[in-house]
Structure 1
Amino acid sequence: MDKTQKGKFFEDKAVRYLESIGYKVLHKNYRSKYGEIDIIAETDNVIVFVEVKGRFTENFGSGEESITKKKIDKIVKTALQFIEENNLQGKDFRFDVVALKGNQIFHLENAFSLE
Protein backbone atom coordinates (compact mmCIF):
# COMPACT_ATOMS: atom_id res chain seq x y z
CA MET A 1 0.00 0.00 0.00
CA ASP A 2 1.52 3.35 -1.02
CA LYS A 3 1.25 6.62 0.93
CA THR A 4 -1.85 7.81 -0.98
CA GLN A 5 -3.64 4.49 -0.45
CA LYS A 6 -2.77 4.51 3.26
CA GLY A 7 -4.07 8.06 3.59
CA LYS A 8 -7.36 7.16 1.90
CA PHE A 9 -7.68 4.01 4.03
CA PHE A 10 -7.29 5.95 7.30
CA GLU A 11 -9.44 8.89 6.14
CA ASP A 12 -12.27 6.55 5.09
CA LYS A 13 -12.08 4.84 8.48
CA ALA A 14 -12.17 8.23 10.23
CA VAL A 15 -15.21 9.30 8.17
CA ARG A 16 -17.09 6.13 9.14
CA TYR A 17 -16.19 6.73 12.79
CA LEU A 18 -17.30 10.39 12.75
CA GLU A 19 -20.57 9.55 11.01
CA SER A 20 -21.21 6.77 13.54
CA ILE A 21 -21.11 9.33 16.37
CA GLY A 22 -23.42 11.76 14.60
CA TYR A 23 -21.11 14.05 12.66
CA LYS A 24 -22.19 15.23 9.22
CA VAL A 25 -19.22 15.18 6.83
CA LEU A 26 -19.25 18.32 4.69
CA HIS A 27 -16.02 17.92 2.77
CA LYS A 28 -13.09 15.53 2.37
CA ASN A 29 -9.60 16.54 1.29
CA TYR A 30 -10.34 20.26 1.04
CA ARG A 31 -7.37 21.97 -0.60
CA SER A 32 -6.26 25.58 -0.71
CA LYS A 33 -3.04 27.36 -1.59
CA TYR A 34 -2.05 26.91 2.07
CA GLY A 35 -2.57 23.19 2.43
CA GLU A 36 -5.18 20.49 2.90
CA ILE A 37 -7.72 19.55 5.53
CA ASP A 38 -8.56 15.86 5.61
CA ILE A 39 -12.17 16.14 6.79
CA ILE A 40 -14.52 19.04 7.43
CA ALA A 41 -17.57 18.02 9.40
CA GLU A 42 -20.34 19.50 11.49
CA THR A 43 -21.73 18.45 14.85
CA ASP A 44 -24.00 20.35 17.23
CA ASN A 45 -23.83 23.40 14.94
CA VAL A 46 -20.01 23.49 15.19
CA ILE A 47 -17.77 23.21 12.12
CA VAL A 48 -14.99 20.72 12.87
CA PHE A 49 -11.74 20.65 10.90
CA VAL A 50 -10.27 17.18 11.31
CA GLU A 51 -6.69 16.09 10.77
CA VAL A 52 -6.44 12.32 10.35
CA LYS A 53 -3.29 10.50 11.38
CA GLY A 54 -2.94 6.78 11.00
CA ARG A 55 -0.32 4.22 11.79
CA PHE A 56 -0.28 0.47 11.37
CA THR A 57 2.54 0.33 13.93
CA GLU A 58 4.26 2.81 16.22
CA ASN A 59 7.74 2.23 14.78
CA PHE A 60 7.89 5.91 13.80
CA GLY A 61 5.90 7.34 16.71
CA SER A 62 2.20 7.90 17.05
CA GLY A 63 0.17 9.72 14.42
CA GLU A 64 -0.77 12.59 16.67
CA GLU A 65 2.90 13.17 17.53
CA SER A 66 3.58 13.87 13.86
CA ILE A 67 1.49 17.06 13.79
CA THR A 68 4.03 19.87 13.84
CA LYS A 69 3.57 23.60 14.45
CA LYS A 70 4.13 24.12 10.71
CA LYS A 71 1.35 21.62 9.90
CA ILE A 72 -1.00 23.30 12.40
CA ASP A 73 -0.32 26.70 10.80
CA LYS A 74 -1.21 25.29 7.37
CA ILE A 75 -4.41 23.70 8.69
CA VAL A 76 -5.48 26.93 10.40
CA LYS A 77 -4.85 29.06 7.28
CA THR A 78 -6.70 26.54 5.13
CA ALA A 79 -9.62 26.47 7.59
CA LEU A 80 -9.85 30.26 7.60
CA GLN A 81 -10.00 30.24 3.81
CA PHE A 82 -12.79 27.62 3.90
CA ILE A 83 -14.72 29.75 6.40
CA GLU A 84 -14.38 32.83 4.21
CA GLU A 85 -15.24 31.03 0.95
CA ASN A 86 -18.38 29.55 2.50
CA ASN A 87 -19.51 32.66 4.41
CA LEU A 88 -19.23 30.88 7.76
CA GLN A 89 -17.89 33.85 9.72
CA GLY A 90 -19.51 33.96 13.15
CA LYS A 91 -20.03 30.20 13.21
CA ASP A 92 -18.34 28.17 15.95
CA PHE A 93 -15.50 25.92 14.84
CA ARG A 94 -12.74 23.77 16.28
CA PHE A 95 -9.80 21.61 15.27
CA ASP A 96 -9.83 17.89 16.07
CA VAL A 97 -7.42 15.05 15.43
CA VAL A 98 -8.55 11.51 14.73
CA ALA A 99 -5.62 9.17 15.28
CA LEU A 100 -5.90 5.56 14.19
CA LYS A 101 -3.57 2.81 15.36
CA GLY A 102 -4.47 -0.62 14.12
CA ASN A 103 -8.10 -1.09 15.18
CA GLN A 104 -8.01 1.67 17.80
CA ILE A 105 -9.45 5.14 17.20
CA PHE A 106 -8.47 8.12 19.33
CA HIS A 107 -10.52 11.29 18.87
CA LEU A 108 -8.90 14.40 20.28
CA GLU A 109 -11.44 17.23 20.32
CA ASN A 110 -10.04 20.78 20.37
CA ALA A 111 -6.59 19.34 19.68
CA PHE A 112 -5.25 22.82 18.89
CA SER A 113 -6.52 26.36 18.46
CA LEU A 114 -5.87 29.47 16.39
CA GLU A 115 -3.19 30.67 18.80
Structure 2
Amino acid sequence: MRLNHTQGAAGEAAALAFLQKQGCKLLARNWHCPFGEIDLIVKNGNTILFVEVKYRKNSGFGGAAYSITPAKLLKLQKSAEHYLQQHRLSHTACRLDAVLIQGNDAPQWVQNITG
Protein backbone atom coordinates (compact mmCIF):
# COMPACT_ATOMS: atom_id res chain seq x y z
CA MET A 1 0.00 0.00 0.00
CA ARG A 2 1.34 3.44 -0.94
CA LEU A 3 0.58 5.74 1.96
CA ASN A 4 2.16 8.79 0.33
CA HIS A 5 0.74 8.33 -3.18
CA THR A 6 -0.46 11.95 -3.39
CA GLN A 7 2.90 13.32 -2.28
CA GLY A 8 4.70 10.94 -4.64
CA ALA A 9 2.57 12.03 -7.59
CA ALA A 10 3.19 15.67 -6.71
CA GLY A 11 6.92 14.94 -6.48
CA GLU A 12 6.88 13.28 -9.90
CA ALA A 13 4.99 16.25 -11.37
CA ALA A 14 7.52 18.66 -9.87
CA ALA A 15 10.41 16.56 -11.16
CA LEU A 16 8.92 16.46 -14.65
CA ALA A 17 8.35 20.23 -14.69
CA PHE A 18 11.95 20.72 -13.53
CA LEU A 19 13.34 18.43 -16.25
CA GLN A 20 11.20 20.07 -18.93
CA LYS A 21 12.63 23.46 -17.91
CA GLN A 22 16.07 21.91 -18.53
CA GLY A 23 14.97 21.04 -22.10
CA CYS A 24 13.89 17.41 -21.60
CA LYS A 25 10.94 15.97 -23.54
CA LEU A 26 8.63 13.44 -21.87
CA LEU A 27 8.50 9.99 -23.50
CA ALA A 28 6.71 8.03 -20.75
CA ARG A 29 5.53 8.41 -17.17
CA ASN A 30 5.20 5.53 -14.68
CA TRP A 31 6.23 3.00 -17.33
CA HIS A 32 5.74 -0.59 -16.14
CA CYS A 33 7.34 -3.84 -17.26
CA PRO A 34 7.96 -7.26 -15.68
CA PHE A 35 11.08 -5.92 -13.91
CA GLY A 36 9.49 -2.89 -12.28
CA GLU A 37 8.51 0.70 -12.92
CA ILE A 38 10.38 3.71 -14.23
CA ASP A 39 8.99 6.98 -12.91
CA LEU A 40 9.93 9.16 -15.89
CA ILE A 41 11.47 8.46 -19.26
CA VAL A 42 12.60 11.64 -20.99
CA LYS A 43 14.77 12.59 -23.92
CA ASN A 44 17.50 15.17 -23.43
CA GLY A 45 19.07 15.94 -26.78
CA ASN A 46 19.91 12.54 -28.27
CA THR A 47 20.03 10.77 -24.90
CA ILE A 48 17.18 8.86 -23.27
CA LEU A 49 17.06 9.35 -19.51
CA PHE A 50 15.43 6.82 -17.22
CA VAL A 51 14.62 8.88 -14.14
CA GLU A 52 13.92 7.69 -10.61
CA VAL A 53 12.06 10.35 -8.61
CA LYS A 54 12.42 10.38 -4.84
CA TYR A 55 10.51 12.76 -2.61
CA ARG A 56 11.03 13.02 1.12
CA LYS A 57 9.35 15.45 3.47
CA ASN A 58 12.60 15.86 5.43
CA SER A 59 16.09 14.42 5.77
CA GLY A 60 15.11 11.90 8.44
CA PHE A 61 16.14 8.32 7.68
CA GLY A 62 18.80 9.52 5.24
CA GLY A 63 16.73 11.74 2.97
CA ALA A 64 15.65 11.15 -0.61
CA ALA A 65 18.87 9.62 -1.97
CA TYR A 66 19.05 6.97 0.76
CA SER A 67 16.18 4.96 -0.68
CA ILE A 68 17.93 4.27 -4.01
CA THR A 69 19.43 0.94 -3.00
CA PRO A 70 21.58 -1.44 -5.07
CA ALA A 71 18.49 -3.65 -5.49
CA LYS A 72 16.48 -0.67 -6.78
CA LEU A 73 19.31 0.21 -9.20
CA LEU A 74 19.31 -3.33 -10.56
CA LYS A 75 15.54 -3.17 -11.17
CA LEU A 76 15.94 0.18 -12.91
CA GLN A 77 18.73 -1.16 -15.13
CA LYS A 78 16.70 -4.22 -16.14
CA SER A 79 13.60 -2.09 -16.76
CA ALA A 80 15.58 0.39 -18.88
CA GLU A 81 17.08 -2.46 -20.93
CA HIS A 82 13.58 -3.87 -21.45
CA TYR A 83 12.30 -0.47 -22.62
CA LEU A 84 15.17 -0.08 -25.08
CA GLN A 85 14.63 -3.57 -26.49
CA GLN A 86 10.85 -3.17 -26.70
CA HIS A 87 11.19 0.15 -28.56
CA ARG A 88 14.11 -1.05 -30.74
CA LEU A 89 16.42 1.59 -29.30
CA SER A 90 19.29 -0.65 -28.23
CA HIS A 91 21.88 1.58 -29.96
CA THR A 92 20.57 4.82 -28.46
CA ALA A 93 22.56 6.74 -25.85
CA CYS A 94 20.92 6.47 -22.43
CA ARG A 95 21.57 6.72 -18.72
CA LEU A 96 19.90 6.33 -15.34
CA ASP A 97 19.31 9.59 -13.47
CA ALA A 98 17.49 10.60 -10.31
CA VAL A 99 15.61 13.71 -9.30
CA LEU A 100 15.64 14.12 -5.54
CA ILE A 101 13.17 16.41 -3.82
CA GLN A 102 13.36 17.09 -0.12
CA GLY A 103 10.62 19.13 1.50
CA ASN A 104 10.26 22.48 -0.23
CA ASP A 105 13.84 22.51 -1.53
CA ALA A 106 14.53 22.83 -5.25
CA PRO A 107 14.83 19.49 -7.08
CA GLN A 108 18.32 18.02 -7.27
CA TRP A 109 19.15 16.32 -10.58
CA VAL A 110 21.68 13.54 -10.09
CA GLN A 111 22.97 12.32 -13.44
CA ASN A 112 24.29 8.82 -14.10
CA ILE A 113 23.38 7.26 -10.76
CA THR A 114 25.06 3.98 -11.71
CA GLY A 115 28.50 5.61 -11.81
TM-score bracket, normalised by the shorter chain, equals over 0.9
Residue 103 of structure 1: how far off its partner (Å): 2.5
1:8 partner SS: helix
Q: Which residue of 2 aligns with 1:101?
A: 102
Q: Which residue of 2 aligns with 1:64?
A: 65
TM-score (norm 2): 0.93
- Once residues 88 and 55 of structure 1 are traced to their aligned partners in structure 2, the CA distance between those partners, rounded to angstroms, is 33
Residue 61 of structure 1: how far off its partner (Å): 1.6
- Once residues 55 and 3 of structure 1 are traced to their aligned partners in structure 2, the CA distance between those partners, rounded to angstroms, is 10
Q: Which residue of 2 aligns with 1:18?
A: 19
Deviations for 1:24-59, whole angstroms, at most 9, x for unmatched residues? 011000001110000000011000000000111112
1:60 partner SS: helix
Q: Which moved more, 1:70-79 or 1:59-68?
A: 59-68
- Once residues 66 and 57 of structure 2 are traced to their aligned partners in structure 1, the CA distance between those partners, rounded to angstroms, is 14
- Once residues 74 and 28 of structure 1 are traced to their aligned partners in structure 2, the CA distance between those partners, rounded to angstroms, is 16
Taking the TM superposition and a 5 Å limit, the aligned residue runs for 1:43-58 are: 43-58=44-59
Residue 96 of structure 1: how far off its partner (Å): 0.5
Count of aligned positions: 113
TM-score (norm 1): 0.93
Moved over 4 A (4+): none
Residue 7 of structure 1: how far off its partner (Å): 1.2
State the identity %. 33
The aligned amino acid for 2:37 is E
The aligned amino acid for 2:30 is N
Q: Which moved more, 1:98-107 or 1:12-21?
A: 98-107
- Once residues 49 and 81 of structure 2 are traced to their aligned partners in structure 1, the CA distance between those partners, rounded to angstroms, is 12
2:14 partner SS: helix
Gaps of 5+ in 1: none
Q: Which residue of 2 aligns with 1:111?
A: 113
